[in-house]
Structure 1
Amino acid sequence: MILPNKSIQPIDSLFCISSYIIDLAKHKDFTVDCIHSELLKTYPKKISIETIIHCINYLYIIGKLEVQDEIIKIKF
């Protein structure tokens, strides 16, 4: 589910969705709900809140995001 393969198209992978989240977080800090509403405007497909949470967890584990008081910030 993280990387695309035979059964998962690139647009459905967490890797692709996470890149959109990083692009959004470059400009300002967000909450999970704000990220979800912004991605619904910009991403070509509808994304569930669970998928957003999986992407945020993935980005946190690899050290790209930090979370402070429910605010998501990008780490450079």
Structure 2
Amino acid sequence: MLFPTKAIKPADSVFFIAAYLTEALSQGHDNFDSAFDYIQNTYPKTVTIELVILSFDFLFMLDRIEVKGDSFKIKLN
């Protein structure tokens, strides 16, 4: 579920959802609701809120985003 495999299609993986989430944050969708709406409108499949939360967690563990109050900021290292 985290990475695509033979059994898991790329569109179903947290890795790909995190890529769309990174795009949403870079376009100024800096809070959860705005980023979730962006994903729902642009992602090729329906994404559950649980997968979006896992994607945020994935990016946070990789130190790619930082949380500031109600908003998220992408880190470009």
TM-score of the aligned structures, taking structure 1 as reference length: 0.93
How far off its partner does 1:51 sit?
0.6
Q: Superposition pairs for residues 1-76 of structure 1, below 5 Å?
A: 1-76=1-76
Q: What is the alpha-carbon distance in structure 1 between the residues aligned to residue 33 and residue 11 of structure 2?
A: 21
The separation in 1 between residues aligned to 2:14 and 2:61, in whole angstroms, is: 13
Residue 26 of structure 1: CA displacement?
1.0
Q: Is the 8 A contact 1:32 1:52 kept in 2?
A: no
In structure 1, the gaps of 5 or more residues are: none
Q: Identical aligned pairs, as a percentage?
A: 32
Corresponding pairs, count: 76
2:53 is matched by which residue type in structure 1? I
Distance 1:44 1:27 in 2: 18
What stretches of structure 1 move > 6 A for 4+ residues in a row?
Answer: none
* RMSD (CA atoms): 1.0
